[in-house]
Amino acid sequence: MLMFASSRVGSVSAGRISNWIGHRYTIVVASTIFLLGSVLMGYAHAYAVLMAGRCIAGVGVDFSLMIAPVYSPKISSPSSRGFLTSLPELCISFGILLGYISNYLFGKLSLKLGWRLMLGIATVPSLALALGVHRMPESPRWLVMQGRL
C-alpha cells in the first residue's frame, strides 16, 4: 500500500514540476529519483531500506510514465508523431523482457550478490536517460509558456 501511495506522488507532481522546469529536466529529475531508488535497493542492508528504495523508485517511474508519453509527441514532426507516441509502450514491454532475462541470469549467481544485481542494474538505464536527455530539445509548449519562441 505504501508503494502505491508513494508512486502516486510522482504522478500527481510530475505535471506541475514539468510546467515549472520543463519536460526535459523533469525527465532528468525522474531519472535521478529512480537512480537513487535503485542504488538504495542494491545496497540495502535491511528490509526497511529496501522498501524505502522501492518507494523512491516508484516515484521516479511514475514521473517518467507521466512525462515521456507527453514529451515525445510535442517535439516530433506530424509525420512521425504516431510512431513516437507508441514507442514508450514498446520500450516498456522490451524493458520488462530484458528484466526477466537479466534476472534469470543473475539468479544463477550467489544469493548475496544475485538479488543486489537484480535491483541495482536499474541504475544503468536511468543514468543513460539522465545523460541522454540533455541532447534533446525542450518542448515548444513549455518554451512558449516561458515567453521564449
- For the chain, the domain total comes to 1
Q: What is the pLDDT of residues 6-25, one digit of tens each?
A: 667 766 777 788 778 888 88
pLDDT, tens only, 40-63: 998 888 999 989 998 898 888 888
Range of the domain at 57: 2-145
Position 122 scores a pLDDT of 87
Mean pLDDT of 88-95: 85
The pLDDT assigned to 97 comes to 95
The CATH number linked to 132 is 1.20.1250.20
| Residue corresponding to grid cell 504516431 | 82
Rounded-to-integer distance, Cα 45 and Cα 40, Å: 9
CB 35 within 8 A of CB 126: yes
CA atoms of 70 and 64, how far apart (whole Å): 10
pTM: 0.81
pLDDT tens across 123-146, in order?
A: 888 898 888 888 888 877 777 777
Contact criterion met (CB below 8 Å) for 40 and 122: no
What type of residue sits at position 105? L
Say if residue 38's pLDDT is above 70. yes
